Amino acid sequence: MTDLTLKCQSRFKTHPEEEEIMRSVGEWIRRHQVIAFFAITFIISHVLGISGAFLFSGDHPAERIMQFFIVRFLLFGPALAGLVVAEVCAKEHQVGWHPSRLKALIASWMLACLVSMLYVWRTTPDYPGLAYTFTISALGALFPAFVISGAFSRVASIRDYLSTLVRPRGSIVWYLVAILTFPAVHLLGNGITRVLGLAAPPAGSGLDFEIIGLATITFVHVLFYTGGINEESGWRGFALPRLQVRFSPLLACLIIWVFHLLWELPFDTFLSHSSWPVMSRLVWMPSWSILFVWLYNRTKGSILAPVLFHASMNSMNPLMRILPPTDAGTFLLVAFAVFALVSDRMWRRLPVDSLAVYNEHRQAA
């Protein structure tokens, strides 16, 4: 063995005290998975992510690329936190990647990269150019691709955690409900407002291919990047089934709502120029949260249902030109949430054998 090898081994050798600290931290995370998840989420998004975004805040192209990458990183805080805790809690660790995971990574990266490029092209008035768009899209696409590929991980705890992103459970009806709820609420709300002769917000031009195309690409972009996989893989995919071990769906819903609200608060404060985002999260977000949980439980613990629901909710922004929000639509959404709450008796705990309740002894095949 050469002197250089001995020096390297000596340099990177872990001391017994460090090993004991790591074991203690790992054991604490395994015993307090939900608390660890929330803590790591805030560390990734608020401590590392926001500070990094401010650090690279210049106008130089390289700094703008780094800032874009860091923003993607902080937005994926919930999903990455779930992966960290699932990895720590794994009973056995496999070295290397399964070929299926590598294929899923490449395929999902290519699709996510294409979606990002199309979204920038359709929504940026001053198009930044193909080379720049491809660079930021290729880097940002690494995050959803990494999360999706986890459904094919060699590690059982990660595979079990993310499997329903690609192998959803439950009836297709609930996935249609997830996609169509917000368009239906806006459409019916506008119809009711006009039938009753109430004061309605001005509507824009009629539905055309441009609006349909923009709404479609927004939906897919949200699904991959800004509320779908990045958030719901954590809030509902990781935290919810573990909270439902001890609490009713309603109480679990309220706990997630509080932490989700706190997580969104810095973005609303610094990026929004009105009080609407904060007010919407305080007043209307509980209704959304109930429906997120309801759909997750109705699909037997499938992450894909809340992912689609979140994507549908956020993709309504371009459609507001022809279907603006109304008080009647808000009332319908709240009424739907109350119906879901009462019909499923969400104040009662789920049976322990429910697939929507975490069970460490049940791993994905």
177-193 residue pLDDT tens: 999 999 999 889 888 88
Across 87-101, 103-117, 313-327, the highest mean pLDDT is recorded for 103-117
Q: Give the least confident one: 74-78, 302-306, 315-319, 326-330.
A: 315-319
Give a yes or no: residue 281 inside a domain.
yes
pTM to 2 decimal places: 0.89
Domain that holds residue 307: 172-343
User: Do 215 and 64 meet the contact criterion of CB atoms below 8 Å apart?
Assistant: no
Give a yes or no: residue 30 inside a domain.
no
pLDDT in tens, 126-169: 888 889 999 999 999 999 999 999 999 999 999 999 999 999 99
The H or E element that residue 333 is part of is: helix 327-343
Give a yes or no: residue 226 inside a domain.
yes
Give a yes or no: residue 11 inside a domain.
no
- What six digits make up the tokens of 270? 């610094």
pLDDT in tens, 26-64: 889 999 999 999 999 999 998 888 787 777 777 778 888
Give a yes or no: residue 65 inside a domain.
no
Q: In the predicted model, what is the mean pLDDT of residues 323-337?
A: 87
User: Do 123 and 220 meet the contact criterion of CB atoms below 8 Å apart?
Assistant: no
Give a yes or no: residue 135 inside a domain.
no
User: Do 230 and 142 meet the contact criterion of CB atoms below 8 Å apart?
Assistant: no
Cα distance between residue 129 and residue 177, in whole Å: 38
Tokens 């992966």 -> residue: 83
- What six digits make up the tokens of 335? 């009424």
Give a yes or no: residue 108 inside a domain.
no
How many domains is the chain partitioned into structurally?
Answer: 1
Give a yes or no: residue 39 inside a domain.
no
235 DSSP 8-state letter: I
Ordered alpha helix ranges (H), 76-171: 77-88, 99-123, 130-140, 142-149, 156-162
